Amino acid sequence: MPDVINPALIEAVGFPGFVCLILFWFIKVLLTNQQNMLNDLKTTLAQNTETLRIIAAKLDKE
């Protein structure tokens, strides 16, 4: 949570505006984390695919 939560900010933009700002921040962080997780998954999937190709090539030689 951002460290900008204070009564002056709530009074300046109003409670609904403050909640919208917090939700925008939350969505931004959530999407960033999700993108990082998907990039890690993509890398892992590519490594697993390469490993399966190597195993299949070794099995074809036998």
**pLDDT tens per residue across span 17-54:** 888 988 999 999 999 999 999 999 999 999 999 999 99
Question: Which has more confidence, 11 or 54?
Answer: 54
Q: Is the predicted pLDDT of residue 2 greater than 80, yes or no? A: no
d(CA 25, CA 21) in angstroms, rounded, equals 6
**Section 5-27 average pLDDT:** 85
Can you tell me which residue has the tokens 């959530």? Answer: 30
Question: Which has more confidence, 8 or 39?
Answer: 39
- Put residue 40 in one of left, alpha, beta given phi > 0 → left and psi -120 to 50 → alpha: alpha
d(CA 53, CA 46) in angstroms, rounded, equals 11
